[in-house]
Structure 1
């Protein structure tokens, strides 16, 4: 028991043991060097009477045994001794003291056979042995006062924040599997990031240069193409991802490949294809997508009069063209041109369609009551926004019909790449948002082929209903991958509420270096693990160390903010048929750089599909303008 009396008793035993050790050594000196003591008149009858008979004992029969017994008792006394621990004591110092002491202690026996006087031999022997004994005692005392602190070795708490991760390769017909390495208690181990259920949504985060495309997205594309997925790729920096998809498809085949590119025209497709628009709600969705894509600040103001009015106006234009003569003019370029028609002729034309009467009634009422300022406020924002899309190349691509947008149709599966350009991202992004919106409507149906939607730099497009797609498309085998740089970027472009929904609804998260709120959110999402904490209390007489286990963040926000390129943290989702206990990870994804470099060196460029002259593009542009003039003239003429 830790009581004062017991400690005093222990100290007395230790002191007594050490005294016996010294006594044995002194008796050994007296017996061994007796002739020298006698010559110096340092002997006594009583001492001789007591000590000389001891020479017959086994302990003192040989020099070595006597010295070993004395040393053993000294070691016992040192083991039980207590002293103030000191972290400044170095192991090297202790070893030097102990080794030198033992060397002198035992080598001194050789001095007994030196050819000197007995007094000189005795003096050298006793002096050397005693000095060795004292050195060893000093070193031994220091040995049991060394303070070894873990906190000194691991200043960044790296070992404490390591945890077991999934080391099995769990693969199925839908999975994405990324090989990785991680640290566990100072040892490097191999692991796998197994996204066995990509249909629960995957969020890939990381600041520029974190390695999102190189370490994660390229593997999602190649593995899903290999497993027979149809695919939509939003390629923000064309043709970074499109080239990977094209070359993977060349190897595995089975699907058609299409590219929507407004700069280098490849394929043409009409996102307002009348056959795919079942009712007016499809027109409303398309109008909302295109208007909010062109005016991103409106996303946070949905419901306002001057936001909803332009959307209703564009809805009326789309639905009118869908109904007019079987939808032969139902394209976005025709919608843009129709919006520029004079109010008198425009309202006369729109009044012909009863289904949009409710939508256009406020505009006609304002026009009839000569509230022109209100009318301009309602419609001008739509006209100004749409006018930004008035470009011959956009008109040419949007008015054609090389392929349908049902990319996961089992009879004709497709890989479609939507090409953007960072320098013109706002204009192109709005139109590409319309493609995404229409494809979203068509892919989320039963009995279709498994499909993968991959969005690089997701905040640069407006995807209305992304949360609904992730939540409901799981049963229809639609896997959604969103790549974002930061949560704040998502908040800026989608608004706080929508950004929070997107962050919280995805099941799989793979995140590289991020800072601020994103890092805090992720750290809290990953939760806490048991970590060993060590504290030291030093006072003038003693040093006490206490160790305890505490729950602390497995991956702190500061660690997420300091991740290297290719180093990712995250969490995966499982499914009922394939349980994963170790869902969380913090590792370095292993890319075979030489293999990837060789693959990229063998890549073929995406071939040019059509050789179109600027004159043909201009003719199409002028033809669309002429179509609207003819349409208005026919309706006005009928009146």
Structure 2
């Protein structure tokens, strides 16, 4: 530990070293310029004897020896200088001072080329002293330079780097993304290994962050190459559908049973298959109808999601359930399609109630509505049913009716005997209309997928908040054992909260095992930063005063990827965490890296893609004919049921009249029998 006495002694030693340097230089001047000093009468006998004794040491035998020795002593004195440090010292300027000083100091021997003795002496000493002073000035200034560069890493990038997985871990289910990342200023190669996609994969990022191009497309291609069946929701049809279709064509050999490819698209009917999401064969009990009804109504009225349980939310759902189940039971589900449900619900209340009351299983569901109708509670009835009728009326479209009333395929995607790759396409311009119908397809497909003893299946939902599925959290939690991998694409946590409500959105965010995120802001960035965790980071501080400079270093835990850094990620740059399993443990689960895509190869691949094939030439007449047919079938159904009910009532009325005519005759006979004893 230094004390004040130690510092004072050191300073005295340095000052003495510098003075000795000047003394050596002065003796050198006296010896080599003695004729000039003699001419100026600056000599003395005692001085000559002292200098003569010093000269016998051999140090002054040449011109350069004493100058170099004096320069060495000056350098030693400068090394120990400790002054007040300055951050803004111009190193280049001080280096120029020292360089010029060395030139003047070492080349002052050129003065001997002058003829006059006095001129030589003055020029020689002036050049040496000037050079000495310039070296001293530059050296002292450089000694004040703050050697600790606090601003070297302004954004703390190197301090926030951490080791990541560099080994490729692959299995029959994995999705592997090549990456490059920064570790202490060095760029290294790595891998993001989603070795257990059955624990759910959440892909988030603002528009343009690269969710589809860098992550989701690789999930689609790698899963198809490994023989997965697939249900794909393509928000911007047909961006992802073309990738899935062409990848499947090139990898049919990966499947033990040749899979079939199906598309649902409401805009181009010639390139769309037809499928009935309310297939009666797949509805085992009335709970299936309830689930379908809830999906449709909440898909049409997204604000109802946060009001589930309210009277005016549950009432239209129950009524729609009753209509669906009635059509399921009517003639073994001959007319059990969503278009028939829509048309039947648009009928007059009196006709509708008389028809559906004939099915005893739904009597409990429709009793409140029938009671309100019989008691002339029109306002209440409209509040209960009108919201369902108005919402479903938006789906009354010939194009929708045509697709929804067909039966080209079933939704059991991962059936081992009939494996499928199904793509359903949305249109951002018609999101409000198509979203509810596609939600119904997804809801019915997921119920059929999440069963035992099926093929491995991948569910991919791009822009997941644009559709509604009420039990996505239970799907992720329970489908793992059935080899169902779920991939959800969202833009931001706030978007998920807006469309699904805070509670369900938080469950989805917390239950997903694998998460990869591009640029996001706000609460999403904070949650991701906390989820990735903290690492040990070095901290450095400098204290400067008039006497000394002190530097301190420490280490502490801090966020590996701060929320501000997540908010500033570039396109293709992702952070997140992977989940492992007991058979494939992953030590380094967190990552902050740039996904490497071979852009040229992907461009060539996309250029070679085949366009989506025409499935069947469909014209407007065919679509209109199917539309009118459904309307006629519903009208005939109502008419037949009312006629049948009328005949039953008439038959019951005749029986009642016969009974009334028979009753007086019986009474007359009984009265005659009872009068005989009296007459006797």
The TM-score bracket by the shorter chain reads over 0.9
Distance 1:256 1:24 in 2: 99
- After TM superposition, the structure 1 stretch with the greater mean CA deviation from structure 2, 162-171 or 543-552, is 543-552
Identify unmatched segments of 5+ residues in structure 1.
none
Distance in 2, matches of 1:155 and 1:589, equals: 25
Provide the residue aligned with 1:150 in structure 2.
149
1:329 to partner: Cα distance: 1.8
Residue of structure 2 equivalent to 1:13: 13
Partner of 2:161: 162
- Alignment of 1:331 with 2:337, yes or no, is yes
CA distance in 2, matches of 1:220, 1:58: 84
Partner of 2:294 in structure 1? 288
Say if 2:320 is the partner of 1:275.
Answer: no
SS of 1:416's partner is strand
User: Matches of 1:343 and 1:80 in 2, distance apart?
Assistant: 102
Check the 8 A contact 2:82/2:547 in 1, yes or no. Answer: no
* Structure 2 Cα separation of the partners of residues 130 and 578 of structure 1: 76
Distance in 2 (alpha carbons) for counterparts of 1:486 and 1:478: 24
Please, which moves more after superposition, 197-206 or 346-355? 346-355
Q: CA deviation at 1:494?
A: 0.8
Alpha-carbon distance between aligned partners in 1 of 2:418 and 2:149, rounded to the nearest angstrom: 63
Matched residue count: 638
Structure 1 partner of 2:82: 82
| Alpha-carbon distance in structure 1 between the residues aligned to 2:452 and 2:99 | 81
Higher deviation after alignment, 1-10 or 450-459? 1-10
In the TM superposition, residue 252 of structure 1 has moved relative to its aligned partner by 1.0
Match of 2:607 among 592, 601, 616: 601
Structure 1 stretch displaced more, 358-367 or 235-244: 358-367
- CA drift of 1:106 comes to 2.1
Shift, 1:469, TM fit: 1.0
- Aligned with 2:489: secondary structure? strand
Q: Which residue of 2 aligns with 1:555?
A: 561
Alignment match, 1:96 = 96
Q: CA deviation at 1:582?
A: 2.7
Q: Which has the higher mean CA deviation after the structures are superposed, 287-296 or 128-137?
A: 128-137
What does residue 535 of structure 2 align with?
A: 529
State the distance in 2 between where 1:602 and 1:203 align: 30
Which of 236, 249, 264 is equivalent to 2:268? 264
TM-score (norm 1): 0.95
- Cα deviation 1:70-89 (Å, max 9, x = unaligned): 22222222111101111221
C-alpha change, 1:345 and 1:512, in structure 2 (3 Å) is same
Match of 2:220 in 1: 221
Q: Which moved more, 1:515-524 or 1:375-384?
A: 515-524
Per-residue deviation, 1:629:
3.0
In the TM superposition, 1:89-488 aligns within 5 A as: 89-112=89-112, 114=113, 116-148=115-147, 150-253=149-252, 254-265=258-269, 266-488=272-494
SS at match of 1:152: coil
In structure 2, relative to structure 1, the CA distance for the partners of 1:115 and 1:379 (3 Å cut) is closer
Cα gap change, 1:59 to 1:170, in 2 (>3 Å): farther
Moved more, 271-280 or 612-621: 612-621
Maintained 8 Å contact 2:195/2:580:
yes
1:463-488 per-position Cα deviation (integer Å, ceiling 9, x unaligned): 11111111111222211111111222
Q: Deviations over 1:579-615 (max 9, x none)?
A: 3333222232222221122112111110110112322
Evaluate the alpha carbon distance shift between residue 415 and residue 69 of structure 1 in structure 2; reply closer, same or farther with a 3 A threshold.
same
Unaligned runs of 5+ in 2: 253-257, 649-680
Q: Match for residue 573 of structure 2?
A: 567
Larger Rg: 2
Pairwise CA distance, 1:115: 5.2
Single out whichever of 416-425 and 248-257 deviates more from structure 2: 248-257
Q: Is the 8 A contact 2:83 2:546 kept in 1?
A: no
Structure 1 stretch displaced more, 413-422 or 326-335: 326-335
Give the match's secondary structure for 2:262. Answer: strand
Tell me the secondary structure at the aligned position of residue 59 of structure 1. Answer: coil
Shift of 1:542: 4.8
Equivalent residue number for residue 73 of structure 2: 73
Contact 1:456 1:484 in 2 (8 A): yes
CA contact (8 A) 1:86 1:543 kept: no
TM-score, structure 2 normalization: 0.89
For the pair 1:493 / 2:493, whether they are aligned, the reply is no
